[in-house]
Amino acid sequence: MAIGNRVAFIDGVRSPFGRAGEKGVFWTTRADDIMAKTVVGLLERNPKVPPAAIDEVALAAATQAGDQGLVLGRSVGILAGLPLSVPGYAIDRWCAGAMTATTTVAGGIAMGAYDIAIAGGVEHMGHHPIGAGLEPNPRFISEKLVDPAALSMGETAERLHDRFPQLTKERSDRFSMASQAKAEAAYEAGKIQADLVPVSASGEAGWTVVSVDETRRPGTNMEGLADLKTPFRPHGRVTAGNASGLTDGATACILASDEAVAKYGLTPKMYLVTYAFVGVEPEVMGIGPIPSTEKALAKAGLTMDDIGLIEINEAFAVQVLSFTDHFGLPDDDPRVNPMGGAIAFGHPLASSGVRLMIQLARGFAEHPEVRYGMTTMCVGLGQGGTVIWENPNWKK
Amino acid sequence: MTDYDALDYAPLLALADDEVVTHSRVRDVTTPSGKTIALITLDNGFDYKRPNTLGPKTLEELNDVLIDLKGRASRGEIHAVAITGKQFILAAGADLSKVNTVPSVDVARLLAQQGHRTLGRLNELGVPSFAFVNGLALGGGLEVALNATYRTVDSSVSALGLPEVFLGLVPGWGGATLLPHLVGIRNALRLIIENPLRNNRLIDAKTAYRLGFADVMFSPIRFLEDSLVWADKVLTGRISVRRKFSPGFFERAFVWPQAIRIARASVAAKIGRVAKSPFAALDVLAYTRTASRGDSFAREDEILSSLISGDQFQASMYAFNLVQKHAKKPSGAPDPTLAQPVTKVGVIGAGLMARQFALLFVRRLKVPVVLTDIDQARLDDAVAYIHREIADLNAKGLLSSDETSRLQSLVTGTTDKNAFADADWVIEAVFEELAIKQEVFASFEKIISPTAIFATNTSSLSVAQIGSKLKHPGRLVGFHFFNPVAVMPLLEVVRAGTTTDETLATAMKVAASLRKTAVITSDSTGFVVNRLLAKVLGEAMHAVDTGTHPSVIDAGCAPFGMPMPPFVLLDLVGLKVGAHVLDTHHAAFPDRFFDSENLHKLADYGRIITRDKKGNPSGFDKGALNIVKGGTSPMTAEAFQKRLEDGLADEIHRMLDEGVVASAQDIDLCMIMGAGWPFQMGGITPYLDRVGASERVFGKTFHSPRIAGVQN
């Protein structure tokens, strides 16, 4: 179990996720503006948290340049109107940026350095396509350190299909169809919108206010999924339908110590139990959640049987299935992503970690019988991250 | 009531072939409670540097959009309409780029009517309308918002206002009618009359909110989001809007008419009765008190069309373009890349003028400024004065503490001339006497670097003669400020025959850094402003000397609409100075400029006009009248007016022939910025053309075609 001060997840919100690219709703909206509006929405929803009491703002982006390049935690703090005394920094672990922002500031709370902190992330994948501007070291290839295909995420997903032949395209598609259906049901029940901060956006068609995710595809069926192109390989298995969409979006959450919870009368939605990050071969980065989950469970002294809810990032359906297969869970295990996942909502890289936490927190509220849950995700260049959470609403 | 839809706007649209159209983009937005608001974005497709404007095609498109939305509202498809602008801009007002081509009063009236037809629809949609004022909103742009049912404003907006009266118009797309009923007559007068007459002062969002223009104000970070949530609450009845400044019975019955009377008197006292637009605006404001909205709009149409087709507005637009555009591209300026950097400034002298120079240079250039004088005590006094002035700026909140200490530490005073060794720019403020200036510059030339530039603030001496004792006369330029230095925007940059391009380019760059409007003039007596003021004052004194009563002369000057009568101007510049100016010009141009023995006597006597307790001119001093009496051939006011008009036309014509400045535009810019001559005169040359003086004197006009309305 973790030692030090207990860390509470107070609340999390996110922007709606927009389709990346010129046709997306956020094409002419800056990443830092989306992020700042998200932070403002978070604080408006939590008026008991005095802005001046925030000890840190840790915000992630996979590409730290342009409109997400100026020390995000600091520049967004200024843009959001936080007191100038509130510090902030930028953080990066590619897809697990916001997750790492959360675990890092949680570490600060645990060791007593912070009482209250904001963690989150943003990725405008329209402005910053994955991998843009990178200059991979030639030693990757000359010394065979990293398979060149490892930098194409779709290719790593195809490689998982190679490695685990039982993970068929059909299973991936079926999982994806279910993700869309679960997301739609959650939308119809108002569970997703409740944690969205509407964000204004301008474009050639004029201003609008975006209040729902743009990439959902309600009514997705197996026939439609079967017809999609496999852009990474001829006759491959990975399609736009069984992968997360390229999206623009931001997330943010508030973490606090027990002391701050008492002092300001806050209501925790989750308590952090422990977390772990583990590296894997870059060319099968999608299996990362398996070892990170094993490590985190071991640290927590728990087994998968203790986990009542799992929010796993659906970078690719095959990568989720590699995880569920490994732990002996059925493809349609009701504990896994009960409100849908990134295949429906999209995966704005560095922001997704906190989206998982937002959905887990809602799941905890709905399921007082669940004591433990986890958020987990794979990370490009071969890593996995897992955070285990405890449900404050848990009743035996 | 006018049926605006029955009118044919084709003659107006015919003028708008190359209009930069501001499009009305519509998107449906769903509010938190599930209502649908049709959100119109005004966007001309350019960034904020080219603000949205509202021309005939723009209004036609918006009109069509609003007709469509009215239909949708009647079918229950939308619950409200909102209108906002592209980033940072709602709209900068009517597109005035073609108003000088309006061919008739009837087309001018259509311009007013098209605005009423279109913007008026915001109030006739069958559902509420909201203006989300997200950025700059001037004139017609602000009237877009005024025609809506509700208004929200972004707290960061810094430029809101109704500049119409400043430009010779009235807010005639509903502004003069709607504003007083929304914010009360006093606040309306402030926005429609007072601010435009204070050099077109604009207001920020916080002021607009405080005055009652906006119903609510939101911070910029989530302005649109918050505005929509607020609109939702209005639509669902969770918020009811109260307008505390909206006039009640007492205000309508008593306060309103009285405020109009006071405003009329105060405008007349401030700028006289020649300028039409403020009084026209007051007429609408008085009329709308009891008139129906439709009648009041019709009154706006009539008044606006008469102003647009009149002389004063055309002259005002000419003047506005001079100040906005011509001033930024000075005629005769050398290649700006020839300018040398100025990293340290030397000021010779420690008197009042030297102090003003030092303060201005340190504030704008932020480089070391060293004053020198023969008397250290005087220098200490000067530096202490400048430090106090800087501290005052800090106390007023205009300078941060850091910036205050930075600027204070940059200003020093020393009797050691060697402190000028590394100065790049040296300006003198010593006694206005040729020999003194010559000697001062020559002595400093031994110390300063070979490339350093000398500037003289002389107003009456020849720059070339001042530089004649220099080894390198090419480094000297005239730099003629107007008093008070910090306030008056004009700088006459005098190019002597010897002045090099490098020197002139540096002077122009320094002038721009000082945020002055610089006009390049030749090295001739009085340059532009003093020469023409000397003409006015010389003619006035000559008329007095020949037996005309000063009040007759005032009457003869009144039709111009100058900021003050000649004898008040004389009183302001000082009678001694005035006499000196007349002498100087008479000496240079004896056949055309009068000197006046009487003026010297008046200077010795010390008074020419009387002032009341508040300091306002109240008449002529009896002793002064006694001194000047005895002339035997008095003029009528009309004769004096004609003589002055012709004299000015002749002098300006000669100045252009001599090449004092490059163009009539430069003359007008000087008179507007240096003497405060009004927009409605267009400075001076459009006025002289339209009263026929130019043709009487030299058979042609300064401007072809004349800058005049279609009414005449």
Give how far the C-alpha of residue B383 lies from the chain's centroid of Cα atoms, to the nearest Å. 33
Give CATH 1.10.1040.50 domain extents, chain B: 529-659
Angle at B675 between CA B669 and CA B678, to 5 degrees: 70
Considering only CA atoms, which of A188, A225, A209, A177 is closest in space to residue A344? A177
Q: Which residues 247-306 in chain B show a CB within 8 A of chain A?
A: none
For residue B95, name the pLDDT band (cuts at 50, 70, 90).
Answer: very high
Out of B39, B43, B221, the one facing A208 most closely (by C-beta) is B39
| Chain A CB within 8 Å of residue B204 CB | no
CB within 8 Å: B29 and A209: yes
Chain A residues touching residue B27 (CB < 8 angstroms): 205-208
Cα–Cα distances (Å) from A332 to A317, A325, A381, B334, in that order, read 12, 11, 28, 79
CA–CA separation, A249 vs B7, rounded Å? 50
Q: Where in chain B is the domain with CATH 3.90.226.10?
A: 4-309
A80 vs B27, B87, B221: nearest CB: B221
Contacts of B219 in chain A (CB under 8 A): 81
Which residue of the set A124, A253, A347, A367 is catalytic?
A347
Are B27 and A200 inside 8 Å of each other by CB? no
Q: Which residue of B has its CA nearest to A76?
A: B221
B29 and A206: CB-CB below 8 Å?
Answer: no
Q: Which residue of B has its CA nearest to A81?
A: B221
Q: Does A193 touch chain B (CB under 8 A)?
A: no
Is A207's CB within 8 Å of B221's CB? Answer: no
Alpha-carbon span A388 to A37, nearest angstrom: 28
Residues B687-699 have pLDDT tens digits of 999 999 999 999 9
Which is nearest to A241 in space by CA: A217, A263, A206? Answer: A217
Q: Which residue in the list A95, A124, A127, A253 is annotated as catalytic?
A: A95
E strand or H helix at B618? strand B617-620
Beta-ladder partners of B620: B609
User: If you average pLDDT over residues B81-102, what whole number do you get?
Assistant: 94
Q: Which residues 6+ apart lie within 8 Å of B275 measured at CB?
A: B168, B312, B561, B678, B680
Spatial distance between the Cα atoms of B538 and B592, rounded to a whole number of angstroms: 9
User: Could you tell me how far CA B407 lies from the centroid of its own chain?
Assistant: 29
Residue B443's pLDDT band (cuts 50, 70, 90): very high
For chain A, the straight-line distance linking the first and the last C-alpha, in angstroms and rounded, comes to 20
Task: Give the whole-number percent of chain B exceeding pLDDT 90.
Answer: 96
Q: What is the pLDDT of residue A164?
A: 97
CB-based contact, A221 to chain B, within 8 Å:
no
**DSSP string computed for A3-31:** -SS-EEEEEEEEPPPEESSTTSTTTTS-H
Q: Which residues from A are below 8 Å from B40, CB to CB?
A: 206
The yes-or-no answer on residue A253 being catalytic is no
Question: Is the CB of residue A253 less than 8 Å away from at least one CB of chain B?
Answer: no
**Residue A37, min C-alpha distance to chain B (Å):** 6
Instruction: Please name the residue of chain A whose CA is at the shortest distance from the CA of residue B229.
Output: A198
CATH number of B4-309: 3.90.226.10
| CA A391 to mean position of chain CA atoms | 19
Nearest CB to B221 within list A79, A206, A208: A79
Please name the fold of domain B336-522. Answer: Rossmann fold (3.40.50)
Residue type, A5: N
What are the tokens at B610?
């009387």
What average pLDDT does this structure show over B82-109? 94
Question: What is residue A196's DSSP assignment?
Answer: B
Smallest CA–CA separation between B365 and chain A, in Å?
30
Q: Cβ–Cβ of B29/A202 closer than 8 Å? A: no
**CB-based contact A208 B43, cutoff 8 Å:** no
Is A207 in contact with B219 (Cβ distance < 8 A)? no
Distance, in Å, from the CA atom of A209 to the CA atom of A18, rounded to the nearest integer, reads 12
Residue A38 has, within 13 A of its CA and on its CB side, a CA count of 36
Q: In this complex, which of A41, A204, A209 lies closest to B224 when CB atoms are compared?
A: A209
pLDDT the model gives residue A2: 57
Question: Could you say which architecture CATH assigns to the domain B529-659?
Answer: Orthogonal Bundle (1.10)
CA angle B539, B540, B545 (to 5 degrees): 95
Phi first, then psi: give them for residue B553, nearest 5 degrees.
-65, -45
Collect all residues of chain B within an 8 Å Cβ-Cβ radius of residue A36: 221
pLDDT in tens, chain A (396 residues): 556 899 999 999 999 999 999 999 999 999 999 999 999 999 999 999 999 999 999 999 999 999 999 999 999 999 999 999 999 999 999 999 999 999 999 999 999 999 999 999 999 999 999 988 899 999 999 999 999 889 999 999 999 999 999 999 999 999 999 999 999 999 999 999 999 999 999 988 999 999 999 999 999 999 999 999 999 999 999 999 999 999 999 999 999 999 999 999 999 999 999 999 999 999 999 999 999 999 999 999 999 999 999 999 999 999 999 999 999 999 999 999 999 999 999 999 999 999 999 999 999 999 999 999 999 999 999 999 999 999 999 997
Determine the average pLDDT of the residues in B168-183: 98
Whether A81 sits inside 8 A of B25 (CB atoms) is no
Tell me the average pLDDT across B291-302.
97
What are the residue numbers of the active site of B? Answer: 143, 164
Q: What is the rounded CA–CA span in Å between residue B471 and residue B458?
A: 20
CB contact (8 A) between residue A81 and residue B26: no
Q: What is the pLDDT of residue A4?
A: 84
Nearest to B225 among A79, A204, A209 (CB): A209
| B255: DSSP letter | I
Residue B17: which residues within 8 A CB-CB, separation 6 or more? none
From-to residues of CATH 3.40.50.720 in chain B = 336-522
Residue B534 near chain A (CB below 8 Å): no
Contact between residue A390 and residue A46 where contact means Cβ atoms under 8 Å apart: no
DSSP string for residues in B421-482: TT-SEEEE---S-HHHHHHHHHHHHTTS-TT-EEEE--SSS-HHHHGGG-S-GGGEEEEEE-
Whether ipTM exceeds 0.90 = yes
